[in-house]
Amino acid sequence: MIFAIEEINNSTELLPGIRLGYQLYDSCASVLMASHISFQILNGQDPVFDSNSNCSHSGEVVAVVGDSGSTPSISISRIIGSFNIPMVSHFATCACLSNKQQFPTFFRTIPSDQFQADALAKLVKHFGWTWIGAVRSDSDYGNYGMKSFLAAAQREGICVEYSESLYRTDSQNKIQRVADVIRRSTARIIVAFMESGDLTVLLEELAQEPPPPRQWIGSEGWITDPQLMAYSLCAGAIGFAIQRSVIPGLREFLLDLSPSEAAASSVLTEFWEDAFNCSLAEITKSDKRVCDGTEDIKTLNSPYTDTSQLRITNMVYKAVYAIAHAIHNAVCHETSFTTKCEKFIRVELKQFISVMKKINISHNGYPVSFDANGDPVAFYELVNWQKSESGVIDLVTVGYYDASLPKGQEFQINRNITWVDGGTQVPASVCSESCPPGTHKVLQKGKPICCYDCIPCPEGEISNTTDSPDCFPCPSESWPNAQRDACFPKPVEFLSYDEVLAIILAAFSVSGACLAIITAAIFFHHRTTPIVRANNSELSFLLLFSLTLCFLCSLTFIGAPSDWSCMLRHTAFGVTFVLCISCVLGKTVVVLMAFKATLPGSNVMKWFGPPQQKMTVVFFTLVQIIICTVWLLLSPPYPMKNLSTYKEKIILECALGSAVGFWAVLGYIGLLAVFCFVLAVLARKLPDNFNEAKLITFSMLIFCAVWLTFIPAYVSSPGNFTVAVEIFAILASSFGLILCIFAPKCFIILFQPEKNSKKHVMNKN
């Protein structure tokens, strides 16, 4: 401060012809002392009250530089602000001081902690730390700063395991309690919004019983303090600091200190005596020798002579120049060739404050300006405590934070950081590890939002992002993969010719059709023999034709369903089976009528001869055709994607369209089958040719048993098995008919031709 004032007083451009006076005070970081000094400033250079209780009026003050602490600055600003005296602080960072309603005359050259809190939160977020601890000074600086940081951390999704405060004058029990909280914590990151003196007390306590390695994140209040670098607990600390600066001529000014100048200041006297271990007083009560003037400050290696880390010092320098330029603008005016300043003009403080608000200068390359809240543009350096090859901790700038840049670009890191373990691998600090895709977060009861369990997504749902709060269902025609992090189209299944089951069923179907054709060929070749003629050859050939169609219609159930195949499979099945049962029914009636015809005076065959038999078959078949036609016209079967039977795949099947139509077709077949079965049972003991009635009875018994079993199996079978059950029922009933009715006759024709004679038939009758 003295250097800046003397530099200004020697300047020919700034306040030419005017010398600035000053008075230095030490508030001792005490609010009481700061208040005392404030009243002293208001009342002149003498104490607030003299021995005669009269106030002094000498030495009117235009502005105040300081204080370095937020709490004393609040006290000073409240007092002198009532008298419109501006105050420019170099190190009071509390965001509360930006409130112009409470502190209308407060300015500062150091940024508000609001910016630093945002920067610290972005720093923590940048490295992926979501589980941290926080300690602060129990002062306006620490409390307001930490409050801003916690709010910013919450916005960034960062959880705080603990937030503790302490002050250097607190009891040992409280300091120990805070240290124990740090020792027991699981958070590996500690954000310390503290002043150097308070952190020193905490580190001394932690050193008694060191906790596991912790990564310290510091505020500008302590991160550049060289004395704290001696604590190994803070190795690798990073934090935001005021920009390092260069002040030309300052080092030479500091080294020009003489013993007489040191003796004139209590602060410098203490420094001189400690540095050289001597006393500036001519008579000393201690064992120290009297300083003899041979002491050379240039030989010292101390923070006093080290100007390589000028940070807060430059804030003081800028504060003095801001006030000087404001005075210059208030009392000086430019003429044609020179600048004239009024030495004896009285500066109106209200007007002077307005001038201060408009200050916008640059000195030594460093800008000085104030916004509407009296704050400068925020710019911080990100510094890291790195151990050099010699083992000394160096303060290395590894990045910066510039609040004037666009959002999202304020924070930059341009160098490698050395962490607490001496390595370059970023330490992790999370309450719970990230949930991978395929899982979702479930908060742990009673804990912050950063503490959660990773639960696999339920069946049918996925999450495709890390730390997903929820799982999302796949579209109806998609299904998750095994990891449940992506949806894939469900496989579409139907009874395909590529499947073994379909091949087997198709083989039986073709085999059955071939068997029916072979049987027809045998019957046709032996059509003139008694065994063929005695069983109504026309109905037999029609029955074999319908059985061939029954076997072949099962093939329509195999393959991908389409509109035509869905309509064809059910109608072809319904019509061919009615044709088949009608033929069997006709043969059964023939047996009954043949017995009646043997009775004396009976002429029943006149009413049920071959034409009537054909008409009966046509009539019964026509009824089924009408039922199928109505079904197809009103609500035909159609291909449908069955999504409900299996969750993980799609069954492509034929929907019935109208269940009434389907069951009407089946019901009509069942009605004819039951009627035929009843007639066959009635005719089973009648004398006939080659046990025809018994064979029909047995075949219809198999037919009815198959289809009675089919109904519950069809309803309960899932997916492709529904189609397989229907094909099986068709094939089983068809094989039952052809084997029961035609196999015995073919056996006689081929292997017992002696029984295939008219004589044998007549004898049997």
Tens of pLDDT, residue by residue over 591-628, are: 676 655 555 555 555 555 677 778 888 888 899 899 99
Q: Residue 586's pLDDT band (boundaries 50, 70, 90)?
A: confident
The DSSP element (H or E) to which 720 belongs, if any, is helix 720-751
**265 falls within a domain:** no
Higher pLDDT, 103 or 723: 103
- Report the pLDDT value the prediction gives residue 59, as an integer from 0 to 100: 57
pLDDT above 80 for 764 = no
Range 98-102 average pLDDT:
94
Q: Residue 451's pLDDT band (boundaries 50, 70, 90)?
A: very high
Quick one: which of 586, 578, 585, 549 has its CA closest to 668? 578
335 and 391 assigned to the same domain? no
Q: Residue 51's pLDDT band (boundaries 50, 70, 90)?
A: very low
pLDDT digits over 397-411, tens only? 999 999 999 988 999
CA–CA dist 432, 159 (Å, integer):
11
**152 falls within a domain:** yes
525 and 645 assigned to the same domain? yes
pLDDT above 50 for 53 = no
Range 676-704 average pLDDT:
73
**63 falls within a domain:** yes
Are 693 and 686 in contact by the 8 Å Cβ rule? The answer is yes
Quick one: which of 362, 385, 364, 63 has its CA closest to 218? 385
Q: How far is CA 273 from CA 26, 28, 251, 265, 288, in A?
A: 19, 20, 20, 12, 9
CA–CA dist 264, 274 (Å, integer):
16
680 and 640 assigned to the same domain? yes
Range 405-421 average pLDDT:
90
**205 falls within a domain:** yes
558 and 469 assigned to the same domain? no
- Show Cβ contacts of residue 188 under 8 Å, excluding neighbours closer than 6 positions: 131, 212, 213, 214, 215, 427, 428, 429
Work out the percent of the chain whose per-residue pLDDT is above 70.
92
**302 falls within a domain:** no
650 and 529 assigned to the same domain? yes
pLDDT digits over 351-362, tens only? 999 999 999 999
- Report the pLDDT value the prediction gives residue 584, as an integer from 0 to 100: 82
User: Which of the residue ranges 135-149, 491-505, 632-646, 653-667 has the most confident prediction, judged by mean pLDDT?
Assistant: 135-149
CA–CA dist 518, 311 (Å, integer):
109
Query: Which 8-state DSSP code applies to residue 228?
Result: G
- Report the pLDDT value the prediction gives residue 595, as an integer from 0 to 100: 59
76 and 147 assigned to the same domain? no
SS3 186: coil
Q: Residue 638 is part of which domain span?
A: 500-764
Adjacency order of strands within the sheet including 379-387: 159-166, 131-137, 189-193, 215-218, 238-242, 379-387, 393-402, 411-413
Q: Among 489, 518, 550, which residue terminates a domain?
A: 489
pLDDT above 90 for 643 = no
611 and 514 assigned to the same domain? yes
CA–CA dist 207, 209 (Å, integer):
5
Q: What is the dihedral of CA 387, 390, 392, 393, to 10 degrees?
A: -20
Q: Which of 128-142, 512-526, 681-695 has the lowest mean pLDDT?
A: 681-695
Higher pLDDT, 565 or 182: 182
Are 99 and 119 in contact by the 8 Å Cβ rule? The answer is no
pLDDT above 90 for 257 = no
pLDDT above 50 for 491 = yes
CA–CA dist 588, 183 (Å, integer):
99
pLDDT above 50 for 54 = no
Q: Residue 94 belongs to a domain with what CATH number?
A: 3.40.50.2300
- Report the pLDDT value the prediction gives residue 606, as an integer from 0 to 100: 57
- Report the pLDDT value the prediction gives residue 52, as an integer from 0 to 100: 43
Q: What is the mean pLDDT of the chain?
A: 87
CA–CA dist 221, 197 (Å, integer):
10
- Report the pLDDT value the prediction gives residue 594, as an integer from 0 to 100: 60
pLDDT above 60 for 56 = no
**9 falls within a domain:** yes
pLDDT above 50 for 505 = yes
Q: Which of 97-101, 186-190, 544-548 has the lowest mean pLDDT?
A: 544-548
pLDDT above 70 for 760 = no
Q: Residue 655 belongs to a domain with what CATH number?
A: 1.20.1070.10
193 and 89 assigned to the same domain? no
563 and 623 assigned to the same domain? yes
Residue 230, number of CB atoms within 10 A of its CB: 9
Range 160-187 average pLDDT:
95
**722 falls within a domain:** yes
28 and 129 assigned to the same domain? no
**262 falls within a domain:** no
pLDDT digits over 17-46, tens only? 899 988 888 898 889 999 999 998 888 654
530 and 623 assigned to the same domain? yes
pLDDT above 60 for 291 = yes
Q: Which of 29-33, 89-93, 483-487, 755-759 has the lowest mean pLDDT?
A: 755-759
Q: Which of 97-106, 257-266, 284-293, 421-430 has the lowest mean pLDDT?
A: 284-293
Q: Is 53 left (phi over 0), alpha (psi -120 to 50) or beta?
A: left
Higher pLDDT, 576 or 718: 576
pLDDT digits over 292-337, tens only? 888 888 888 887 888 888 899 999 999 999 999 999 999 998 887 8
Number of folded domains in the chain? 4
Range 209-222 average pLDDT:
94
67 prior amide bond cis, ω within 30: yes
Higher pLDDT, 284 or 426: 426
pLDDT above 70 for 640 = yes
145 and 237 assigned to the same domain? yes
Range 491-520 average pLDDT:
90
Q: Which of 236-250, 509-523, 651-665 has the lowest mean pLDDT?
A: 651-665
- Report the pLDDT value the prediction gives residue 602, as an integer from 0 to 100: 52
